[in-house]
Amino acid sequence: MQLSEPPRPPKLHTLVTNTKQPLIAIVDDDESVCRAIKRLVRSLGMTAETYVNSLEFVDLIEALPSFQPDCVVLDVQMASLSGIEVQTRIRSARGPIPVIFITAHDDRVARERALSGGAVAFLRKPFTDVLLIRTLNAALGRAEPEENPIDPVCSD
């Protein structure tokens, strides 16, 4: 008597996608801006953490290697460190992390420094939710192929 092998289940060919929620760090000394952007980011299924003190944010980035935001939304003008200084320190500590600058005061020199430092975009306040969502998607590499590329210097 010969024993036969039990039937094997069919192989499943499924694509496993990354289910990790992106972490977006929002750094702005205006708490109401932080709250509004955090609400929007969370409505997109992403995790958001807010920081109203730019120096504390940089200290966290430099001291805690396990803290790895996928993107940083960064105000240009803040009390302790400017957004440009924060961007420089992030790049020194961690290398390139996508940064989206937001500002109420468009300054050509700051804009050029931000973009030459690798910023994804430089958005002038007020901007629409749609613009920020498109910019976040571009920063995270989630932009739809048929979508027009974002202009790195935008306002609505």
Tell me the pLDDT tens digit for each residue of 57-105.
Answer: 999 999 999 999 999 999 999 999 999 999 999 999 999 999 999 999 8
Per-residue pLDDT at 151: 64
What pTM value is reported for the model? Answer: 0.82
Per-residue pLDDT at 111: 94
- Mean pLDDT lowest among 6-10, 82-86, 118-122: 6-10
SS3 21: coil
**Chain position carrying tokens 């094997």:** 8
Q: Is the pLDDT of residue 130 over 80?
A: yes
Q: Which helix (H) or strand (E) holds 62?
A: helix 54-63
Tell me the pLDDT tens digit for each residue of 12-49.
Answer: 433 334 457 999 999 999 999 999 999 999 999 999 99
Give the confidence band of 142 by pLDDT, cuts at 50, 70, 90: confident
| Nearest CA among 130, 118, 140, 125 for reference residue 20 | 140
DSSP string, 64-133: -TT---SEEEEES--SSS-HHHHHHHHHHHHS---EEEEESS--HHHHHHHHHTT-SEEEESS--HHHHH
SS3 29: coil
Region 140-155: what's the mean pLDDT? 65
* Whole-number Å distance between alpha carbons of 6 and 63: 55
Q: Please, what are the domains in the chain?
A: 23-142 (3.40.50.2300)
Give the confidence band of 11 by pLDDT, cuts at 50, 70, 90: very low
The residues near 17 (Cβ < 8 Å, ≥ 6 apart) are none
Per-residue pLDDT at 89: 96
Buried b / exposed e along 91-129 (16+ C-beta atoms within 10 A): eeeeeebbbbbbbeeeeeebbebbeeeebbbbbbbebee
